[in-house]
Chain A
Amino acid sequence: MSATHILAFSFGSPTSIFAPAGTPAHSVFNLSMLVLGITAGILLVVAGLLIYALLRYRHRSASTNSEQEPPQIYGSNQIELSWTVIPILIVVMLFLATARVIFSTEHAGKPSTAIDVVVIGHQFWWEYRYPKLDIITANELHVPVSNSRQPTPTYLTMSSADTDHSFWVPRLAGKMDLIPNRINTMWIDPESSGLYLGQCAQYCGTQHAKMLIRVYADDPAHFAAWIAHQQQPAVQNPAAAEGRAVFEHNACISCHTIAGTVATGRFGPDLTHVASRDTIGSGSIPNTPANLRSFVDDPAHFKPGALMPAMHLNAHDLDAVTKYLTTLQ
């Protein structure tokens, strides 16, 4: 499919399933074209016959035998057989095509160059861990671009810390649920660099709607740089020492982790490099100092029902801690 086709299909939406940008999404797209073709064909034939029958056999009171009942036909075994057999054949064909895609996606061989990411769903944010790279981050997933000559897909191992969630980035792949006490796996391989959007697709509570997903597909150089950066502990900017003190002496540390400090809470997102992210609130709020301050003051301002409580800091402490957080590149 050419780029113009893709653009046309996508109706201008960045999350259209008709603008695939990775192998699983492409497989589904190709299969969906077959399915749409078959169902459109069936629709045309059957609806066409229906329309014809309704027009041709409508009662015309002006005709001579309008009061007579039409010939009563009770059935026909041959006709019943024919319209049983033909649908069976269509079903068999569709089923075989589908089975092939199911197995090719779910049983795809994992190359040794694959990146492993552990995804843990939370109410209402995403935890991402790269176990082999010793990185823990939240809400913004960075993966390498994968090309077919040297595939570097990202394998996601998924579970949940609380209720059910679902990871759906339409342009990259179909969705997969994150279920507590269960491990699910899926893989993505973005074919070009850029930002891919998605969101949680299994109702998980009040702020299900704002549990957004941002997948950054980086070319190899940028990806390596990002990894190196994420592997560093938190920036220790002396100008923000006061804010750091506020952070460490408040309840913040019971939920959040900042690597290299006393904060090792696991209930909320890891904030070690929070200032390097484009968004806060799981993709729903642009990451500006003003928004950050507002969020820390009262998350319900942006996300009523988010599990982070309002911190009730006075204005001075609020400014200080905001300043501190903005230094955490």
Chain B
Amino acid sequence: MATQAPITAVLDETAIPAPRRMALQVLHDWVMTVDHKKIGLMYIGYALLFLVVAGVEALLMRVQLAVPNNTFVSPQVFNRLFTMHGTTMVFFVGMPILFGFGNYLIPLMIGARDMAFPRLNAFSFWISAFGGLLLYFSFFGGSGLYGAGTAPDVGWFAYAPLTAKVFSPGHSTDYWTLSILLSGIGSVGVALNIVATVICMRCPGMKLSRLPLFVWLYLVTSMMVFVVVSPLTAAQIMLMLDRYVGSHFFDTQAGGSAILWMHFFWIFGHPEVYILILPAFAFANEIIPVFSRKAIFGYPAMVAATVAIGFISLSVWAHHMFTVGLGPGANTFFTLSTMLIAIPTGIKIFNWLATLWGGKIHFTVAMMFAVGFLFQFLIAGLTGIMLSVAPFDWQLGNSYFVVAHFHYVLVGAILFMLFSAFYYWYPKMTGRVLSEKLGKWHFWIFLIGFHLTFDFMHIPGLEGMPRRVYTYEADRGWMLWNLIVSSGAIFHAIGTLIFVYNMIWAFFRGHVAGPDPWDAWTLEWATSSPPATYNFATIPSVASRRPLWDIKHPEDPDSNYEM
């Protein structure tokens, strides 16, 4: 029988006297840190800041669109708002926050003390952060604040030839290009770190078949990043060459192709949204089992489905180009590939359903958000299937139906699951539990806002309203729906404010969490809250997928049963 080391060897109980430090010392500590936990928190904090900024941009747009022929903002400002809103949300909210959670939790979950390359980790954060600041500097650069400066106004996917020097003079497009280039370098850095960490730094006994699903999903996400961010980087280099060196990659006057930009962009852009959703699945895979008090149903199938999604997602990109005239052969192929990806995605939903089935479901706030995610992701997936039908997309593509669909995924699925993750892991990160009471207010108000805005947003799309319009005609019958959609924005704002307040309040006054407030089963809950800098005093070793279950149920460990 192998020697048993008591868990106190894992938790270091020695009280370390912590003298009050000067603010400058604290700041220096954070700026110079290479600790994955601090870097993870910086990513998350940074993303939350940009979430508020991009949210305000959305609010401004919804005020403008509440009534037809409104003059709240000029068309030039509106076009900058939707460009900045989309670009910020994808690159400076979505990517950082998801990589922030990964950074924080992956070493803890695999029993490691840090990521594989701590200095690369810090570099990746700072270069992404600089990218975000560069993007927002565009408001000030050039003509200054009046008229919103020279913020980019080409849309977040910046189609050629609108981005050519002749149609987008000045530097606004360049701010877009360069800030995303920098963010892309950061993303590749984090992804590299995650892959190296997961492959090379697992604690003894943690074979790949015993990895928490959270870690599996981040592994697949990171592999996708390498193959997916590079096409965008390449396309942006080409765009810069076109704009400044006189090359002709997308110069239609010289025989160049506008379609080529679309192909390159969407080869990045579609898998990118899977890169954004897979971490949300990662959260669900940890949170739903714990609050159902059951192991995840079908672990191998979940891994297989994830890998399948990763691969198939690389083959669907031209469903963003159904209206571009690629021909019936291509349209048919991409319809098929897009429909196929629904299958592993559906398998995941069914496995979550089976996890709930027969369990004992505890409706903590984290679980409430996870339940919201389940329903809303189901609906979003179904509207996605509708859009995969190319002829239906010929009507609905580039309309508000598409906007409603992707916000259903981004807000209804990803943001809801992010909220769930906050309520679940905030105690680990800070040592305090968020208020469940405030959390319930947050949940219900945000839920109402979400459905007011994004359910009704489908209707103008079905009635012919295209996207990216700063206003619309009164005779189209869109006004009532736009008004309802805009009214939901208030609820979003209030719900978010409650959430921010909850995080601040709980930091000072929340219940003390202890190492394992949720009675969970993965290794991060075997550390103190927050964990010591070195995570584990002794590196643990594991014999199953749920090491803490084995400890808590020594008479019936998982290792007896795992498939």
Contacts and interface: CB of A to CB of B under 8 A. Distances in A.
Do chains A and B make direct contact within the complex (CB under 8 angstroms)? yes
A209 interface: yes
A284 B357 CA distance: 56
B76 interface: yes
Interface string B338-380: 0110110011011101101111111100000001001100110
Contacts of A287: none
B517 interface: no
A206 B325 CA distance: 25
Interface stretch (A169-177, A265-273, A291-299, A313-321): A169-177
Interface string B362-405: 11000000010011001100110110011111111111000000
B392 A32 contact: yes
B182 to A, nearest CB: 25
Contacts of B343: 84, 87-88, 91
A106 B394 CA distance: 12
Interface residues of B, number: 97
Contacts of A200: 466
A69 B295 CA distance: 11
A174 B395 contact: yes
Which among B162, B356, B391 has the highest number of chain A CB atoms within 10 Å? B391
Given A31-B392, A174-B391, A180 B462 contact: no
A70 interface: yes
Given A70-B360, A98-B335, A206-B79, A175 B347 contact: no
A86 to B, nearest CB: 9
B394 A73 contact: no
Nearest to B371: A54
Given A74-B562, A102-B391, A17 B466 contact: no
Contacts of A25: 395
Given A71-B358, A76-B298, A209 B463 contact: no
A198 B295 contact: no
A184 B327 CA distance: 10
Contact of A35 (B324, B342, B389): B389
Contact of B466 (A102, A168, A284, A305): A168
Nearest to B292: A57
Given A94-B389, A99-B335, A202 B398 contact: yes
Contact of A173 (B350, B358, B394, B476): B394
B359 A107 contact: no
Interface in A40-76: 42-43, 46-47, 49-50, 53-54, 57-59, 66, 69-76
Contact of B294 (A70, A98, A198, A201): A70
Contacts of B378: 43, 46-47, 50
Interface string B460-484: 0011111111111101111000000
Interface stretch (A7-15, A217-225, A233-241): A7-15
A134 B350 CA distance: 61
A53 B464 contact: no
B295 A73 contact: yes
A11 B479 CA distance: 12
3 closest A-B pairs by beta carbon, nearest first, are: A174-B394, A15-B464, A13-B477
Interface of B: 74-76, 79, 153-155, 159, 161-162, 167, 252-253, 255-259, 292-295, 297-301, 323-325, 327-328, 331-332, 335-336, 339-340, 342-343, 346-347, 349-351, 353-354, 356-363, 371, 374-375, 378-379, 382-383, 385-386, 389-399, 459, 462-473, 475-478, 553, 558, 561-563
17 contacts: A10-B463, A17-B462, A32-B392, A35-B385, A50-B374, A57-B357, A70-B360, A76-B298, A83-B350, A94-B339, A168-B464, A175-B397, A177-B325, A179-B325, A201-B323, A207-B75, A208-B468
Given A15-B464, A47-B378, A175-B394, 10 more contacts: A50-B378, A66-B360, A69-B293, A75-B298, A87-B347, A103-B328, A164-B161, A170-B464, A176-B323, A199-B466
Interface of A: 10-18, 25, 27-28, 31-32, 35-36, 39, 42-43, 46-47, 49-50, 53-54, 57-59, 66, 69-76, 79-80, 83-84, 87-88, 91, 94-95, 98-99, 101-103, 105-107, 123, 162-164, 166, 168, 170, 173-177, 179-182, 184-185, 197-210, 212, 284, 304-305
